[in-house]
Amino acid sequence: MKLVFLLIVLVVYVSVLISGEEYKSQYDDMDVDEILRSKRLLKNYVDCLLDKGGCPPPARELKDHLDDALKTECMKCTEKQKSVGTKVINFMIENQPDLFSTLQEKYDPEGIYMAKWKARKESKKTEEEVQS
Q: What pLDDT is recorded for position 7? A: 42
Find the DSSP H helices in the chain.
Answer: 2-19, 32-37, 39-49, 57-71, 79-95, 97-107, 112-131
Query: Going by CATH, does the domain composed of 31-131 fall within 1.10.2080.10?
Result: yes
How confident is the model over 67-74, as a mean pLDDT?
Answer: 90
How confident is the model over 77-89, as a mean pLDDT?
Answer: 90
What's the pLDDT tens digit per position in 42-70?
A: 999 999 999 999 999 999 999 999 999 99
Under 8 Å between Cβ of 62 and 55? no
HSE on the CB side for 16, CA within 13 Å?
7
Q: What pLDDT is recorded for position 25? A: 82
Q: What pLDDT is recorded for position 127? A: 66
Compute the distance between CA of residue 12 and CA of residue 14 in angstroms, rounded to an integer: 6
Compute the distance between CA of residue 4 and CA of residue 91 in angstroms, rounded to an integer: 52
Phi, psi of 116 (to 5 degrees): -65, -40
pTM attached to this predicted model: 0.75
Work out the percent of the chain whose per-residue pLDDT is above 70: 81
